[in-house]
Amino acid sequence: MTEKFESLNPATGDVVGTYPIHDEADVAAAVARAREAAVWWSTLSFAGRREYLDKWNAVITRRVMQLANVSHEETGKPHGDAQLEIMIAIDHIAWAGSHAEKVLGPKKVSSGLLMANQAATVEYRPLGVVGVIGPWNYPVLTPMGSIAYALAAGNAVVFKPSEFSPGVGTWLADAWTEIAPEHPVLQVITGLGATGAALCKAGVNKLAFTGSTATGKKVMAACAETLTPVVIEAGGKDSIIVDSDADVPAAADAALWGAMSNAGQTCIGMERAYVHERVYDQFIRELKAKAKAVELSAEPGGLVGPITMPSQLKVIASHIADAAARGGTFVLGGPNSVGDRYVQPTIITDVPEDSIAITEETFGPTLTVKKVSSMDEAVELTNATRYGLGASIFAKERGMELARRVRSGMASVNSVMAFAGVPSLPFGGVGDSGFGRIHGADGLREFTYAKAITRQRMKPLLAAMTFERTAKTEKAAAQLMTVLRGRATTMPKFKK
Ligand code: NAD
């Protein structure tokens, strides 16, 4: 008999649902079904696939409140946040479906001088079956960055949602089954880490992982056994940088929302703030005043819900304790901010840069704030992390310059996390935040392989790629190259 596990409501501990723990054989069977479905799916035109994606998206859109409720119950996030997340995901599905042909379809490219007799074409072909392993913190949006783009590119998907949000994953796959019952192009498998590990070994053509850096390393190691390519969307330790000419109330608002929304359980959430000394006091005042309104409760009206994963409470507590022990000053909250299920929003200043509250991902509603004397210092401290996911910069003059200097895959100038909602922008990180991209044109190409084709249009002027090549041809080719490429003005001059 198949073993089961329970999904619990983190606010109450109530059982939300019971789901099967799929084992290796179940996962292999799902991948085999997907492989067959992928053959059908890949033969559809881009327009044909778009039609299905639009139908699926319409089901999600019409029942957004139902899906938001499952997400609310499983993760504890406020209804409004769950709804906003799904809205952004809906936009991504629509973008992926409507842009796939333009991004991936055949394109003529220049064939160069030597191969001028050839017509050259590049196109992006689907890989086959893509395995998607997702986290629980944005249980719709984060996996959707892989699922929608992989589907639009012509692949079938086997999705393993987090054990903390199996209901959301199942809901999405059920919605697909409703619109294409005979074609399991999107399937869900549920279970704990072992089910994810089985998916890595099941012979999928690519594995898209979103989750912690530690698990990402395990996924990559497992996939290396079969040379299965991976996308790794892992953790972050993003900062908000506030320059002296910034709109300080707006920066404080963004810092607060970026740090505390979703109870701080956001990969691209703000965990550190570096604020120019000229506006530091004002920033702290604004932050304090705005933070008073942030209520702890998963119920309607509450802005900050419980911590979804009980084991994370210990991590958050250890970061707060280290900051306190190392001389940190609490602007909001205190050493006892961590409760049984909820964490009081906590803002700490004067935390040494080598405290674990600064060096490691906290994944809770906390923010450290440091006064800096220049933007060079802000950038240097921001970049002194092994992560490199996103960043937020508040500045009038130097916003774009600072955004470019931060070592991260993404940045928002004068807003926070905005890039995640722009479907045409690639999403992903550097360093311990992972590699590969979801969203946008890069996100579509991520789930394909490039296919290069030449078609000979006429005989070559110089028949060089044949055993019938003559010495005359070789000489002519050398002369041609000298004329074409041998005229660099910076030729080294040798002394006699
Ligand atoms: P996690 O690493 O604990 O789990 C992620 C998924 O991996 C789950 O589905 C889990 O069952 C599965 N898993 C566990 N062990 C596995 C194994 N050995 N092989 C294969 N799969 C396995 O992460 P989490 O707690 O669910 O999510 C939080 C983390 O995700 C944070 O670090 C956060 O920053 C990160 N995250 C990153 C992004 C991004 O886009 N970069 C987005 C959201 C969350």
Cβ(408)–Cβ(272) below 8 Å: no
CA angle 16, 148, 125 (to 5 degrees): 145
Query: Is 267 marked active-site?
Result: yes
In this predicted structure, what is the pLDDT of residue 295?
73
* CA of 436 relative to ligand 1 center, distance in Å: 16
Task: State how far the Cα of 235 lies from the Cα of 228, in Å rounded to an integer.
Answer: 22
pLDDT at 55: 98
CA of 169 to the centre of ligand 1 (A): 14
Which ligand 1 atom minimizes the distance to the CA of 138?
Answer: 43
Write phi, then psi, for 150 (nearest 5 degrees): -65, -40
Pairing label, strands 206-210, 129-133: parallel
Question: In this predicted structure, what is the pLDDT of residue 495?
Answer: 64
Q: Does ligand 1 lie within 6 Å of residue 389's CB atom?
A: yes
Whether ligand 1 lies within 6 angstroms of the CB of 155 is answered as no
At residue 455, φ and ψ (nearest 5 deg) are -130, 120
Ligand 1 center–CA 486 separation, angstroms? 53
pLDDT tens, N- to C-terminus, the chain (496 residues)? 789 999 999 999 999 999 999 999 999 999 999 999 999 999 999 999 999 999 999 999 999 999 999 999 999 999 999 999 999 999 999 999 999 999 999 999 999 988 999 999 999 999 999 999 999 999 999 999 999 999 999 999 999 999 999 999 999 999 999 999 999 999 999 999 999 999 999 999 999 999 999 999 999 999 999 999 999 999 999 999 999 999 999 999 999 999 999 999 999 999 999 999 999 999 999 999 998 878 777 676 688 999 999 999 999 999 999 999 999 999 999 999 999 999 999 999 999 999 999 999 999 999 999 999 999 999 999 999 999 999 999 999 999 999 999 999 999 999 999 999 999 999 999 999 999 999 999 999 999 999 999 999 999 988 889 999 999 999 998 998 898 888 876 666 666 6
Predicted pLDDT of residue 453: 98
Do 258 and 392 touch, CB atoms closer than 8 A?
Answer: yes
Residue of 215, 238, 271, 316 with the most ligand 1 atoms within 8 Å of its CB, for mutation: 215
From the CA of 439, how far away is ligand 1's center (Å)? Answer: 18
CA distance 190 to 23: 9
The pLDDT assigned to 294 comes to 82
pLDDT of residue 481: 87
- Domains present along the chain, CATH in parentheses: 4-235+439-449 (3.40.605.10), 238-384+390-422 (3.40.309.10)
What is the model's pTM?
0.95
Residues 150, 49: Cα–Cα separation, whole Å: 11
φ/ψ (deg, to 5) at 367: -145, 130
Spatial distance between the Cα atoms of 417 and 411, rounded to a whole number of angstroms? 8
Place of tokens 């690639």: 426
> Cβ–Cβ contacts within 10 Å for residue 91, how many?
17
Q: Say what the pLDDT of residue 298 is.
A: 65
